[in-house]
Structure 1
Amino acid sequence: MITLSALQHWCWNDAEPFSVDMSEGRLVADDILRHLPGKRLVVQGQWQGQKVIAKLFFNDSKAAGRHEYALLETLAGQGVCVPEALALLEQDNHAVLLMEPVSGAGLEALLTDRVDLPLLRTLLDTVWNLYEAGWIQTDLHLGNFLVRDDGGVVCLDAGAIKPVPSRGAAALVDNLALMCAQAALALQASLIQECLDFMKHHGVDSRDFEKRCRYALHRRMVQADRKFQRNCSAIRVESIKDGVVYSVRAGRNDLDAWLTYCEHPEVLPFLKKGSRVSVYANKNWVVKHYREAGLKARFKQKMKCSRGMISWRQGWLWALLGIPTPCPVMLVEFTQGERAGTSVIVFPKLESKALSQVMEQQRNRAQRLAVDVRLWLDRFLWAGISHGDMKAQNILVDEADKLSFIDLDGAGFSSRARWAQVKNQKDKLRFEKNWEQFR
């Protein structure tokens, strides 16, 4: 049992199921869905025998809980599909908003593997209906929509729904650009085209829309890149005796094993040994040991641009953008002692083989796979992304012909078009050179 005041002071590492007594009854939290320490906590649980989604507002001096409760009722009254508000509970200066869970599938998950044009059009119709009712979802992304079993689209996160600004349709265009930028990179071209058709149909000026999308995408990438270097809902950062550990918060049952691999990578079988980088692996994990040392290496660590840190940041960024890559689970930056300047990073091992092997052994299959590689390179150019070493050994393929990109310690991104063009051309030339190399 715990109080709301105690919950307010939870840190990232304390988040776990709990129950809290209110004057109206007991809230039992079974799963933590989102945690903003000291500000918000969203849980799935039970209230008086009923399943609920509970949103906890800590130190709610601006009455955000009351506002969201009233807004949900207003939106529902205007015919906007939102979760039903069940009750607003208050304790001291904290508030708890109880909502009815909505059954269905997340729109983001439904669009992960394929472009569903009818579903995209249903989403845009929902956005337009919201706009015509005088509202705009200021955090417009696919994760804030849920598709019910009957095909209806439900708007989530009412706290981000605001009255349409005085700019009117211009605000809607910026909002749609934000939605495109926050979608998976593979989906963005189709989504942008659907938005252009949608705006033309409704008579909305869509000039420079692609430019706005690219600007919003770059802002998102910059913000995400900074986020993945600090404590957040996905990543835990902690100090150890001779360095700093970055690790994924989810699925931490293997935490001790990862740390052992980072401290002593030699306990694993060798996969590859180079002059500055060694790679080890077992059936589950791949461990890369960057053996750089000296003043220059320590300076790079301090500036958060060591090869290990770049691989960590880019791995998380590419995964966020839906680019197929094994997302790293742990990075240790050794900053003191004999190993100062070195880094060790851990990835899940994929059941796949290098595209270079396919080029050698199955030429026709490799040529089919190359079509997908070139498509990704075009997407990288649009987004201003570079791999940095786009050779066939750094592209993995599984039995279902699904690609994955690895070795991102030379990857990067920029909003400068010239930078993107030069880097993309190098990536393309490096990939095409493989056809002669692997005859």
Structure 2
Amino acid sequence: MNTAAQLPPLVDAATLRAAGRQPPAPFRLALTPAFGPQARELWMQRLLRVLPGKRIVGEARLVGGELDGRRVLAKLFVDAGSARHSQREHEGIAALAAAGIPTPPALGMLALPGGGRALFTEFLDGADTLLDAWRALADGTPGAPEALALLAPAFALLGQLHAAGLSHDDLHFGNFLRHEGQLYLIDGDAVRRHASPLEESTAARDLAMLIAQLPRTWDEDLAPLLAAYRASNAAAPGERALGSALVAERAWRLRDYLSKAGRDCSLFKVDKRFRRFTAVWRAAAEQLEPLLAEPDRRMDGGRLLKRGNTCTVAQVNIDGRPVVVKRYNLKSLRHALSRLWRPSRGWHSWREGHRLRLFGIPTPAPLALVEERHGPLRGRAWLVNEFCAGVDLLSHLRPTSAPPAAEAAALRTLFATLHRERISHGDLKATNLLWDGRDIQLIDLDAMRQHRKPASYARAWRRDRQRLLRNWPADSELYRWLDTNLPPAA
């Protein structure tokens, strides 16, 4: 039996609301008397998701009463809107169940001491999300059989949802659970009831949300997934409606993701101070903390890759993890004054790296950014990227022959994607393209830009194209192959 000294701390909803991103897990919650015959306390054992001051989701155990020892998934609503959100969650779960959509059943809902509500659902031991499984396949070949086998059931489940007159406002892969061969849809708070059949615009929006989770390189390989959707819902949205919804959804996802790269959220840890700004990929924050605290000292102890007036680049090992640190220097007082009011080149590269990653364009993962600041004024900046051990194309490709088959395919895919998204690089020399054995990684993103207007992009692409071709003699076989296979200059 646990002694008082061994018990997790007893908290209430007000304590959890004030705890922000780091509730004191494990913890205990006293349950209201109305729930007393079933259980007296909730013991939260493992946190799965935290929305600071709003919602806490985790694996828990009920203590006392009829449900003593029962493992549950506990969703704790602790903000001012807890009654509304918990009720909507409960009703959404009921609507899914009534429609025959697999979802973990609700076991109970109650008020919490200190304000707030708790909702319990069955805990699916050993379950993983569709997102967990997809991460292992996301960089593979579009339309690969194993990827289709993973994704098609989700599209079929969405078709079933729509056929029942229901929609879902948050259709990301993390809201699909896989357990013992069954796919479940979760997050009842996002479920909405509609007249049946569903309006075309609503169905197109949901379907676009799901498709937008995939890299753009999948656009030519969606037919089997759409067939799985139509097998469950004959009233599928038309091609025009789906196309419009997909454009809107992708634009929203891009804006949302890039805005997150500059603010504290579940993906990024951001610290804004008068003299310093730091943004770091949250999953890497603890490991990179020593580097971010003293970037210059760590660079001095690393392997110098480039020393220039405007930037210095070094490879640094952090607990055996190789990263590349690029420091953006201020070469003169005039240069420093010219940069004071503008976003740093480090910030621009940080943002563009995340843009490329969202589009599925290979580039070393941007891990962290540090900027010197004096209030709104900017100084030097340090950008930390994942290390890529590839060899640059100037060294790798032979001017006397066309690229090998793998490199040729990677070049076509890379430039077709950049061309489709109207992205120009701004310094497209061959040393900024690295062959890693499978993909061509794009680096040095200081001047990268996504153009809204076709005319602006056409001018920038002509410059990029000419800069790349200048790496090899105009009468060489490689030059001729690139000139034929690159998107044409407008």
TM-score (norm 2): 0.77
Separation in 1 of the partners of 2:404 and 2:397?
A: 5
Separation in 1 of the partners of 2:148 and 2:296?
A: 45
2:211 aligned partner: 180
Alignment of 1:125-136 (within 5 A): 125-136=156-167
Relative to structure 1, the CA distance from residue 327 to residue 51 in structure 2 (aligned partners, 3 Å threshold; closer, same or farther) is: farther
1:18 aligned partner: 26
2:78 aligned partner: 58
Amino acid at match of 2:421: A
CA-CA distance at 1:427 after TM superposition: 4.2
2:189 aligned partner: 159
Alignment of 1:37-436 (within 5 A): 37-48=52-63, 49-59=69-79, 60-92=81-113, 93-102=115-124, 103-108=126-131, 109-110=133-134, 111-112=137-138, 113-114=140-141, 115=143, 116-150=147-181, 152-164=182-194, 168-191=199-222, 194-195=225-226, 202=235, 204-207=237-240, 209-239=242-272, 242-251=275-284, 252-262=286-296, 265-283=299-317, 284-292=322-330, 293-300=335-342, 305-336=343-374, 341-360=379-398, 366=404, 368-398=406-436, 400-424=437-461, 426-436=463-473
Separation in 2 of the partners of 1:385 and 1:147?
A: 37
CA-CA distance at 1:272 after TM superposition: 0.7
| Partners of 1:18 and 1:29 within 8 A in 2 | yes
Amino acid at match of 1:38: G
CA-CA distance at 1:414 after TM superposition: 4.1
| CA deviation profile, 1:336-391 (whole Å, cap 9, x unmatched) | 49x95211111222333323322159966655313213212222333343433343
Separation in 1 of the partners of 2:435 and 2:122?
A: 43
Relative to structure 1, the CA distance from residue 397 to residue 412 in structure 2 (aligned partners, 3 Å threshold; closer, same or farther) is: same
CA-CA distance at 1:276 after TM superposition: 0.6
Count of aligned pairs between the two proteins: 431
Relative to structure 1, the CA distance from residue 204 to residue 220 in structure 2 (aligned partners, 3 Å threshold; closer, same or farther) is: closer
Relative to structure 1, the CA distance from residue 229 to residue 390 in structure 2 (aligned partners, 3 Å threshold; closer, same or farther) is: same
CA-CA distance at 1:290 after TM superposition: 0.5
| Partners of 1:185 and 1:321 within 8 A in 2 | yes
| Partners of 2:200 and 2:236 within 8 A in 1 | no
Which is greater in Rg?
Answer: 2
Separation in 2 of the partners of 1:423 and 1:45?
A: 55
Separation in 2 of the partners of 1:38 and 1:346?
A: 31
Relative to structure 1, the CA distance from residue 203 to residue 328 in structure 2 (aligned partners, 3 Å threshold; closer, same or farther) is: closer
Relative to structure 1, the CA distance from residue 354 to residue 214 in structure 2 (aligned partners, 3 Å threshold; closer, same or farther) is: same
Residue 120 of structure 2 aligns to a residue whose secondary structure is strand
CA-CA distance at 1:423 after TM superposition: 4.2
Paired-residue identity, %:
26
Separation in 1 of the partners of 2:180 and 2:370?
A: 44
Separation in 1 of the partners of 2:432 and 2:86?
A: 49
Relative to structure 1, the CA distance from residue 316 to residue 9 in structure 2 (aligned partners, 3 Å threshold; closer, same or farther) is: farther
Residue 253 of structure 2 aligns to a residue whose secondary structure is helix
Residue 218 of structure 1 aligns to a residue whose secondary structure is helix
CA RMSD of aligned residues (A): 3.2
| CA deviation profile, 1:19-57 (whole Å, cap 9, x unmatched) | 122223443444433222221222234444444332221
Pick which of 383-392 and 251-260 moved more: 383-392
